[in-house]
Amino acid sequence: MLGTTKIYGCLADPIDHVKAPSIFTSIFKSKQLDAVMIPIHVNSDDLENVVCSLKLIKNFEGMTITIPHKTDIAKLCDNLEPDAKFTGAVNWIKFDKNRKLIGNNFDGKGFVNGFLSQNHQLSNKIIGLFGSGGAAVAIGCSLAYEGIKELKIVNRDTNKANDLKKRINSFNKQLKITVFSQYDYDINNCDLIINATSLGLKKNDQTPFDVTKTPSKCIIADIIMQPEETKLLVQAKLIGRSIHYGKNMIESQIDLVGDFLNLW
């Protein structure tokens, strides 16, 4: 690194599962950009203080944001791009020339683009979405633009799930959306089921749902990147389900992020 090196961060809690720093630092190197990305481990109580401090570091350009900070960081931004404003969640921020904080969200487009890039289809499909946090909101909203047949939202807090339903129906009134509690759900006719919760990050985590309750042609997707094969995906493979890795979501965001940060 040189004195001219631009610094980017990856903000998370926990931090050991994140792969973005190695992915983006490798991209910077391949494109001969004088930049690096570093992991930043911050808990929720210290989030505001850390962001305020980073504003003072002139060569700190921005960050990718992951669990559990995506909704809280949105409240700290000076300006939000349309996708971040609509979803109320942010997964990338940048500082402008006046050190104002600008937030954006590429999770939804990243998941959709990553899924389609694997020769899968979304049109007219019945999709189960587990979770209603920042990533789930972005993914659910993006799916609603893809001509899907039905969306089933499963979450521990059904109030949050119903909020997501209302958000989606505000721009797609025709889409059938059903909300379930994680203790009582029906996924036996889903074509695709997405784990958009944090379950799977830790070794002792339970799986978010019972894969044996899914139809044989159902695709099981996870947005967790580390471990690459979560307990959910391992169980899905064991009973012959097709699986979709979390890495596809971030890899499909690279060009979007580059444009946002004016990198290339």
pTM of the model: 0.90
The span from the CA of 96 to the CA of 106, in Å, is 19
Answer whether 15's CB lies under 8 Å from 39's CB: yes
Q: Give the per-residue pLDDT at 3.
A: 82
Catalytic residues: 70
Q: Give the per-residue pLDDT at 263.
A: 87
Encode the chain (264 residues) as per-residue pLDDT tens digits.
668 999 999 999 999 888 899 999 999 999 999 999 999 999 999 999 999 999 999 999 999 999 899 999 999 999 999 999 999 999 999 999 999 999 999 999 999 999 999 999 999 999 999 999 999 999 999 999 999 999 999 999 999 999 999 999 999 999 999 999 999 999 999 999 999 999 998 889 999 999 999 999 999 999 998 899 999 999 999 999 999 999 999 899 999 999 999 987
Q: Give the per-residue pLDDT at 1.
A: 64
Which residues, listed in sequence order, are joined to residue 130 by a DSSP beta bridge?
154, 195
Q: Give the per-residue pLDDT at 195.
A: 98
Query: What burial class does residue 168 get, using C-beta atoms within 10 Å of its C-beta: 0-12 exposed, 13-18 middle, 19+ buried?
Result: buried
Q: Give the per-residue pLDDT at 203.
A: 86
3-state per-residue secondary structure call for the chain: CCCCCEEEEEEECCCCCCCHHHHHHHHHHHCCCCEEEEEEECCHHHHHHHHHHHCCCCCEEEEEECCCCHHHHHCCCCEECHHHHHHCCCCEEEECCCCCEEEECCHHHHHHHHHHCCCCCCCCCEEEEECCCHHHHHHHHHHCCCCCCEEEEEECCHHHHHHHHHHHHCCCCCCEEEEEECCECCCCCCCEEEECCCCCCCCCCCCCCCHHHCCCCCEEEECCCCCCCCHHHHHHHHCCCEEECCHHHHHCCHHHHHHHCCCC
CA dihedral (128, 134, 140, 143) positive or negative: negative
